[in-house]
Chains A and B, each alone.
Chain A
């Protein structure tokens, strides 16, 4: 009978599906490169890991797809993370601020601090065998400052002589104040003294590049079969959107890393849940630091699980989340209003209950590690004082205060924060808050446009250090010349401008610190934006991974320190 036949067909289809679900043999990891023996056993969350023999030195981490691997064209953190492992430059800093020479064996600074002479080591080579020379640095810097290259981080080169004119005014790139006087000597001339220049020299835009390779392949020079690198790891393979594999550079001039291979397993953006599932299934060894946070909803479950709790790793980050305020509008002009808004927030509640993320309460805009910061002189959390401030500013109990709009680009965290603040400011200050969420690109456009300037109230803001120096905060963000291009708060204080300009080129370390300290005082009085929390990172790492140490700046994970037990 037809009915029976159809039932049979359905049954068979279901059986096929079920069969697909049954284990025939243990799930083997996909083999991509037959280098070392593939024998990683799938580690299930409930079973203890049975390791009789030493594990393979393989580290698998979750990340998003890096859009760019050219050190001069970088736009985002995951690209920086990968680039920092396959390329290197003149110097490097550790979290304590101690500098070490990488390619630079030694350097001399002229008495007026405008000329730096780097002597490069003998030894460092490119992955194709050619030695790294000073000419590679000269070429890279000139190429990155060239407006045709259109590098996002070209501003890192601005302290160098003529850089600004080249990048924005049409001067020839060959005029840049950098010269390779011979294969091992690089002479850099600055526009004016800049104490933070060595910090910049440790960033990716100042890494060396191979002129001949770029000339030969154009933009595609970063393909794994063409790329030439100089770091402790090599780019072995890049399966777009699937995974990126790095391998130990056995010809590396310095101490060779213990790790043999690192696989960046790629998940789509916003895929923290998938990454977490893969971690718990033992398919990856860490959730990583640059791409995914543990979802707020899951942290409770993880903290209640003995094993997972032990695998949590928290680390400090150099960054602050703050609420940008439009200082131009009549009801937001008075710093007391802004301070009232800031004093009314319960930051610990925000961090532990609302966002459920790692971090510390922020009262100053500058994070820990930035010289000059003085959290104690800023407005503290104090609801009674907040009410008082608002009343003093002319809005007792929020009467007469127009509806406040809080704008953010769509993301769960911002929405939670926004909804929380909506309740909080209403309860404590009597202010009505309207939420306005925007699609990301629309948001970016809006905040730089005239609509923000004339109509916008507040939006979610924040800043991460590119390099840990007060210059990256005091000068780059709040100087009234930079403000329009950065957060466009409309706040301006001539005394502040003068202080930070002076501090920028101050040669004496102690004096510099004092100047920035004074600028901090002006900033605390002016309160252009509302600090909420300093970022902290939290991720999961398997217990057999050692040496996992994310840097405070950008949370990058140097693979050379990692070893598998």
Chain B
């Protein structure tokens, strides 16, 4: 037996990334979910080409019509094609969901992890701050943020940073304020979840082992604890996305969401709810779109969780 390392390796060494991707591919439902999301995103992006009829074309005499060969999903309250509106809505809804969730994770995960790991006074301080932030009237904050931003953007003299922000804002249908406000009030749950997990995990054997072998606190956090909270984070994110979409819709309820003629799925649901008993197609299609997208995120999330196992570091 030669022990000089010249033996051919039984199998190739794979990087964790590639490993993740391969494991993900094995997960049928996850791939299906991913495909669906990509499909929706692309359709939304190319909405103007995909949809046969422009989404702003009104014809009030043909409003509330059920699906026909001309209007695949029927028409809305002003006779606009519902299918086109749905695709336009996808743009806003997907962006709101994803952007807000990203901000939430970036803020919430580190804070939660720090609180859980260090415990004691740090934990108390962070958690009590979260309690305080949790209780204040989000609605008020959103109103204030939106009103200030509107005042700032409306000013024709806006230039420099403000000018850039103003154009970003109108690109997103006036929603920049909503992203910011929404993210500000929503990162709290993720932080709490991560903190809970970390609290439970930090007394586990493998953490003791890592500490005993001299790993730094930072490395324990980054390489062992956070990756093990992935399960919880993924679920939170997959639920966070539809939540953001629906909260954006409910803000429209009181005038703070997307500006007409732009639309979002949430807004379409809100507008359609009064028509439930008369023209159900106004609700059925946006609701189906929303549910299927969330389902897709869910399956993708499941797959991701399993696929990210190589990062967890403890024996399986």
Contacts and interface: CB of A to CB of B under 8 A. Distances in A.
Are A and B part of the same complex?
A: yes
Contacts of B214: none
A416 B255 contact: no
Nearest to B61: A353
Interface of A: 272-273, 277, 295-298, 300-301, 349, 353-354, 409-410, 412, 415-416, 418-420, 422-423, 435-440, 442-443, 455
Contact of B278 (A297, A419, A420): A297
A439 B261 contact: no
Contact of A436 (B254, B259, B273): B259
Contacts of B187: none
Contact of B261 (A295, A296, A412, A422): A422
B63 A438 contact: no
Contacts of A277: 277
A91 B55 CA distance: 56
B292 to A, nearest CB: 24
Given A300-B64, A419-B261, A439 B255 contact: yes
Interface in B169-223: none
A298 B277 contact: yes
A410 B273 CA distance: 16
Contacts of A418: 260
9 contacts: A272-B274, A273-B273, A295-B274, A297-B278, A298-B277, A353-B63, A415-B260, A419-B261, A437-B260
A447 to B, nearest CB: 14
B132 to A, nearest CB: 25
Contacts of B254: 410, 439-440
B275 A297 contact: yes
A277 B273 CA distance: 13
B291 interface: no
Given A298-B277, A438-B255, A420 B64 contact: no
B3 to A, nearest CB: 49
Contact of A353 (B60, B260, B261): B60
A440 B255 contact: yes
Nearest to B77: A416
B159 interface: no
Instruction: Please list the 7 inter-chain residue pairs (A to B) with the smallest Cβ-Cβ separation, ordered nearest first.
Output: A410-B255, A297-B275, A353-B60, A439-B255, A301-B278, A295-B274, A435-B260
Interface string B62-104: 0110000000000001100000000000000000000000000
B61 to A, nearest CB: 6
B78 A416 contact: yes
Give the most central of B252, B255, B273, B279: most A CB within 10 Å.
B255
A443 B78 CA distance: 25
Interface string B141-155: 001001100000010
Contacts, number: 75
Contacts of A297: 64, 77, 272, 274-275, 278-279, 282
Contacts of B271: 412
A435 B261 contact: yes
Contacts of A422: 260-261
Contacts of B253: 410
A415 B252 CA distance: 11
A440 B154 CA distance: 19
B124 interface: no
A298 B275 CA distance: 6
B312 interface: no
Contact of A420 (B78, B154, B252, B282): B78
B56 interface: yes
B253 to A, nearest CB: 7
A443 B58 CA distance: 27
B256 interface: yes
A56 to B, nearest CB: 29
Given A439-B256, A442-B143, 7 more contacts: A295-B274, A297-B274, A416-B77, A423-B78, A440-B254, A440-B255, A443-B255
Given A297-B77, A442-B143, A437 B255 contact: yes
B58 A420 contact: yes
Nearest to A301: B278
Contact of A298 (B58, B146, B154, B274): B274
Given A297-B77, A435-B260, A437-B260, A354 B252 contact: no
Nearest to B279: A297
Contacts of A423: 56, 58, 78
Nearest to A443: B255
A420 B58 CA distance: 8
A10 B186 CA distance: 32
Contacts of A420: 58, 60, 78
Contacts of A296: 77, 274
Contacts of A442: 143, 147, 255
Contacts of A300: 64, 278
Interface string B220-264: 000000000000000000000000000000001111100111000
A454 B84 CA distance: 37
Contacts of B276: 273
Contacts of B260: 415, 418-419, 422, 435, 437
B307 to A, nearest CB: 27
B66 to A, nearest CB: 12
Nearest to A295: B274
B128 to A, nearest CB: 31
A408 B221 CA distance: 51
A419 B282 CA distance: 18
B274 A273 contact: yes
Contacts of B61: 349, 353
B140 to A, nearest CB: 11
A52 B255 CA distance: 51
A410 B252 contact: yes
Contacts of A295: 274-275
Give the most central of B60, B143, B256, B278: most A CB within 10 Å.
B60
Contacts of A273: 273-274, 276
Nearest to B255: A410
A301 B255 CA distance: 28
B60 A354 contact: yes
A301 B78 contact: no
Nearest to B56: A423
Nearest to B58: A423
A415 B270 CA distance: 13
Nearest to A277: B277
Contacts of B147: 442
Contact of B78 (A354, A409, A437): A354
B201 to A, nearest CB: 26
Give the most central of B61, B252, B278, B279: most A CB within 10 Å.
B278
A437 B271 CA distance: 15
Contacts of A298: 274-275, 277-278
B77 A437 contact: no
A416 B272 CA distance: 13
A101 B275 CA distance: 47
Contacts of A415: 260
Nearest to B278: A301
A420 B78 CA distance: 7
B164 to A, nearest CB: 20
A437 B251 CA distance: 12
Contacts of B278: 297-298, 300-301
Contacts of A419: 58, 78, 260-261
Nearest to A410: B255
Nearest to A435: B260
Contacts of B154: 455
A192 B100 CA distance: 63
A407 to B, nearest CB: 11
B226 to A, nearest CB: 32
Given A297-B279, A435-B259, A349 B60 contact: yes
A355 to B, nearest CB: 10
